[in-house]
Amino acid sequence: MVVANQPRLAETGGGLDRNVIKQVINDDRHRIRACYEMQLGRHPQLAGRLRVHWTVGPDGVVIKSEVVDDSLESESVTSCVVEIIKQMKFPPPSDE
């Protein structure tokens, strides 16, 4: 799993600036990478892609997350990353 330098962002659909989203993701990048690296020590061949879509509520809290692509085949990594995403705190979206 590679935590890309530039996360690929889906359409924001709300008032959150893409740069703000990238910053929140970057702030938790080390925690996401730790999920992978912890399992990599146990399973050296671990590789693949994990894509998660999530929805940020009006208060900046992640209210929904959904795994949309998972070729890692590691429930441990997947559940760890999803849990981190659920804990992310974004600024409240603007009403624009």
What does the pLDDT look like over 27-36, one tens digit per residue?
Answer: 999 999 999 9
Contact 41, 1 (CB under 8 A): no
Contact 32, 4 (CB under 8 A): no
Confidence of residue 84 (pLDDT cuts 50, 70, 90): very high
Our CA dihedral for 13, 18, 23, 26, rounded to 10 degrees, sits at: 80
What does the pLDDT look like over 34-80, one tens digit per residue?
Answer: 999 999 999 999 999 999 999 999 999 999 999 999 999 999 999 99
* Alpha carbon separation from 87 to 42, 47, 61 (Å, rounded): 26, 24, 8
Query: What's the alpha-carbon Rg for the chain, to the nearest Å?
Result: 14
